[in-house]
Amino acid sequence: MVFKCKSCGSCMVYDFDKDVLVCPNCDSVGDPQTEYDNKDDPDICPICGGQLNLGQYGSARRCNYCDSYIVSDQRLGGNNRPDAIIPTTITKKRVFELLTEKFKNYICLIPEVFSESRLKEVIIEYVPYWVYAFNIKAAYSGIIKESVTSGNTTVTDTYSVVESWNFNMHDVPVDASEKMPDIIMDELEPFKFTEKLDFKPEYLSGSESEIANHESDHYKEEACYKVAGSVYDFIYDELSHTYPHAVNLSSGTVSKDTSLDITTAGAGYYLLPVYKYSYTLRNGTIYDYYVNGQTEEISGTAPISESRLWTAIAATVTAFAGVAALITTVLMLIGGAV
Ligand SMILES: [Zn+2]
Ligand SMILES: [Zn+2]
């Protein structure tokens, strides 16, 4: 669907600060005229008839032909309707400020990468995640040796330790979008789930989004793996605290000596805010940037100009050569020729 301004016909976008659709053209708020998906093919823009290229999972994007923001009511219907969305709290301008600040100490940056004229290329993407809740029973059973040295005497004690814990863990996110790189999505965590809102389609007007690429069962193993890591860390900390002189305690022994019983208590389908920006150098090198639209966590590398870098290195080498020649001349003059 498309949310059109009744005053001027422009496409309205959702403003989370004002909590309403606003028209970027005439500043009208709320009360849109809603146009629904093309019935035969949701991949056809209902405004201009252009191809949207939503792909297999796309649910919201801008039409390249008429610039309308399309939120697909067909794609987001039934089981594909998200439970909740976490809105972004930062602007595109803020994204460039953060990236400029992060890379300010690098030499030979390409200055135009984060220039204001490129702001329109920054995209807010609401990434589908499955967010799990788990009940976990953990049981540790192992031998812990403590060794304490006092003067010339070393006393070693051996303990047979059996302990168990029950945990309820919630808000464990796993990204459900194959196009978003898993390692980068992990880097951008955590998200603040307390700020989630019940989903409404108009929230996506002005953004890009996908539906979850698979059901929650598909990602459950990955979520369990994440949870297990956190539980092992907790048990390691607990045992290290109780047995501060332990000589055989490590993350490896804790995971080996701990059994886990993890049961799923629930799974919610959320959309989480990630800014995307991509810059391609003339030589084809692509710099991709991702920013958590809530916590401002950044993923991406400094956009370095190789030609500028080589010029700087050449200048430095020339300067050093000049200094070396000067030192040699001075040494010769004072009779200490090398
Ligand atoms: Zn308007
Ligand atoms: Zn269009």
Q: Name the band, by pLDDT with cuts 50, 70 and 90, for residue 338.
A: very low
- Of 257, 196, 265, which Cα lies nearest the Cα of 224? 265
* 243 and 121 housed in the same domain: yes
* 295 and 336 housed in the same domain: no
Residue 327: predicted pLDDT: 66
* 30 and 158 housed in the same domain: no
Q: Does residue 331 carry a pLDDT above 60?
A: no
Is the Cβ–Cβ distance between 62 and 68 less than 8 Å? Answer: yes
Ligand closest to 24 (CA) is 1
Q: Does residue 109 carry a pLDDT above 60?
A: yes
Domain tally for the chain? 3
Residue 336: predicted pLDDT: 46
* 94 and 28 housed in the same domain: no
Residue 281: predicted pLDDT: 85
CA angle (321 as vertex; 319, 327 as ends), nearest 5: 105
Domain containing residue 6: 1-75
Is the Cβ–Cβ distance between 290 and 297 less than 8 Å? Answer: no
* 298 and 229 housed in the same domain: yes
**What's the whole-number mean pLDDT along residues 79-103?**
95
Last residue of a domain, one of 45, 60, 75: 75
**What's the whole-number mean pLDDT along residues 229-251?**
95
Q: Round to whole Å and give the CA distance between 137 and 237.
A: 17
Residue 337: predicted pLDDT: 43
Q: How many angstroms is it from 44 CA to the middle of ligand 2?
A: 8
175: buried, middle or exposed (CB in 10 Å: 19+, 13-18, 0-12)? buried
* 334 and 254 housed in the same domain: no
Q: Does residue 315 carry a pLDDT above 70?
A: no
For ligand 1, an ion, list residues with CB under 5 A: 5, 7-8, 10, 23, 25-26, 28
Q: Name the band, by pLDDT with cuts 50, 70 and 90, for residue 112.
A: confident
Ligand closest to 9 (CA) is 1
* 164 and 213 housed in the same domain: yes
Residue 63: predicted pLDDT: 96
pLDDT (tens digit per residue) in 21-68: 999 999 999 999 999 998 889 999 999 999 999 999 999 999 999 999
CA angle (302 as vertex; 298, 303 as ends), nearest 5: 125
**What's the whole-number mean pLDDT along residues 299-318?**
73
Q: How many angstroms is it from 1 CA to the middle of ligand 2?
A: 11
Q: How many angstroms is it from 38 CA to the middle of ligand 2?
A: 11
* 58 and 112 housed in the same domain: no
Ligand closest to 69 (CA) is 2
* 154 and 95 housed in the same domain: yes
Beta bridge partners of 173: 131
Lowest mean pLDDT among 70-74, 276-280, 304-308: 304-308
Structure tokens at 106: 């690098």
Q: How many angstroms is it from 56 CA to the middle of ligand 2?
A: 19
pLDDT (tens digit per residue) in 176-219: 999 998 899 999 999 999 999 999 999 999 999 999 999 999 99
Q: Round to whole Å and give the CA distance between 223 and 131.
A: 9
Residue with tokens 């953990």: 138
* 193 and 255 housed in the same domain: yes
* 193 and 279 housed in the same domain: yes
Q: Does residue 326 carry a pLDDT above 70?
A: no
* 196 and 221 housed in the same domain: yes
Q: Does residue 329 carry a pLDDT above 80?
A: no
pTM here? Answer: 0.84
Q: Does residue 274 carry a pLDDT above 80?
A: yes
Exposure letters 298-322 (e unless 16+ CB within 10 A, then b): bbbebbbbeeeeeeeeeeeeeeeee
Last residue of a domain, one of 47, 75, 103: 75
Last residue of a domain, one of 75, 99, 118: 75
Ligand closest to 27 (CA) is 1
Q: How many angstroms is it from 153 CA to the middle of ligand 2?
A: 82
